[in-house]
Amino acid sequence: MRALVTGVAGFIGSNLAMRLVADGWSVRGIDCFTDYYPEVMKRANLAPLLVLERFEMVEADLLEVDLDQLLQAVDVVFHEAGQAGVRGSWASGFRVYNETNVDVTQRLLEGVRRNPVHRFIFASSSSVYGNAAKFPTFETDRPQPHSPYGVTKLAAEHLCSAYAHNFGVPVVSLRYFTVYGPRQRPDMGIHRMIEAALNGTTFSVFGDGSQVRDFTYVGDVVEANVLAAMADVEAGTVMNVAGGGSITVAQLLDLVGEVVGRPVPVEWGPPQAGDVERTGGSVDLAKALLGWEPRVDIRSGVTEQVAWHRQRRPA
């Protein structure tokens, strides 16, 4: 099997590509190294892949690349590329989010329409739910994004469904709930908490720490992608990929401090626009259709991520 992994130098894309090659897939990866976070970190994610025989790298912008050539002999598309983060999606930042999350997805869907594949997997987000009325959230609950970022992910989901229902494009959308683990982006909470504890720098908490998050270990997310690639599910299916347990920000700060061996220095600030009070998803559908459920608990996952942070530090 040959896979195309978009956003291959990123957090989830690089972990997924490593797993696919280890499983015997041939992988073509594409990334344009946007400046959302330092390119050197993405290059480091990519480095272990570049020495593998069954990996091919394409440096290009998905808005401009020749998709017919990119999709040649591809069996499965894992569309992990996207502009992440809630706070940057307001005001003038929205244009980049719309281009990267909506326009790119539509262009890829058109490419797959011309060059049929076995499966197209879209990396969606729990941000489509916004401040949900009840928890855990189910795929049948009404999406109501609380940020422009969530709006773009939901728009891309709807595009996937439209291409599935009108043209039979074999799309599965996976709604990720706050992914963490080795190679996590530097703007994400657990990454910044660990770095603050290791370096003695301050971690800013927006709100009172009572916000609840459902964290999902990256290895579990990768497993869901691999299973979705081969499962016999209806085109246009949407599934939650959630960690199965919830924790408050305050509890997470304590946990990171315990694992690192020193507390996280905290500076408290007001809530930020677009942040939701709680996330938490039911994984009943993924369990029924894919045989998937989360395996890694939050303490074990944070321990793995702390080890990765320590490995990256200068001797």
pLDDT tens digits, residue range 171-222? 999 999 999 999 999 999 999 999 999 999 999 998 888 889 999 999 999 9
C-beta atoms surrounding 267 within 10 Å: 11
pLDDT one-digit tens code per residue, 101-121: 999 999 999 999 999 999 999
Task: Tell me: pLDDT of 314 over 80.
Answer: no
Least confident interval from 42-51, 160-169, 175-184, 273-282: 273-282
C-beta atoms surrounding 40 within 10 Å: 8
pLDDT one-digit tens code per residue, 28-45: 999 999 999 999 999 999
pLDDT at 246: 87
Report helix, strand or coil for 241.
strand
Q: How far apart are CA 99 and CA 86, in angstroms?
A: 15
Contact 241, 175 (CB under 8 A): yes
Least confident interval from 31-45, 55-69, 198-212, 271-285: 271-285
pLDDT at 127: 95
pTM: 0.96
- pLDDT-derived band of residue 271, with 50, 70 and 90 as boundaries? confident
Q: Burial, 147: exposed, middle or buried (Cβ in 10 Å; 0-12, 13-18, 19+)?
A: buried
> Which residue would you say has higher pLDDT here, 275 or 17?
17
- pLDDT-derived band of residue 274, with 50, 70 and 90 as boundaries? low
pLDDT one-digit tens code per residue, 118-157: 999 999 999 999 988 888 999 999 999 999 999 999 999 9
**Going by C-beta distance under 8 Å and a sequence separation of 6 or more, which residues neighbour residue 64?**
none
In the chain the first and final C-alpha atoms are separated, in Å, by 40
Average of per-residue pLDDT values in the chain? 96
Q: Which residues are catalytic?
A: 149
Contact 218, 179 (CB under 8 A): yes
C-beta atoms surrounding 74 within 10 Å: 21
Q: How far apart are CA 149 and CA 166, in angstroms?
A: 26
pLDDT one-digit tens code per residue, 82-101: 999 998 999 999 999 999 99
pLDDT at 272: 79
**Going by C-beta distance under 8 Å and a sequence separation of 6 or more, which residues neighbour residue 300?**
217
pLDDT at 66: 98
pLDDT at 315: 61
Report helix, strand or coil for 295.
coil
For helices 298-312 and 189-199, the axis angle rounded to 10 degrees is 60
Q: How far apart are CA 171 and CA 179, in angstroms?
A: 21
- What domains does the chain contain, in order, with CATH numbers? 2-180+216-243+280-296 (3.40.50.720)
- pLDDT-derived band of residue 270, with 50, 70 and 90 as boundaries? confident
pLDDT at 16: 98
Portion of the chain with pLDDT greater than 70, in percent: 99
Cα–Cα distances (Å) from 4 to 57, 174, 195, in that order, read 10, 17, 32
Task: Tell me: pLDDT of 275 over 90.
Answer: no
pLDDT at 92: 92
Q: What are the structure tokens assigned to 169, written together?
A: 């494009």
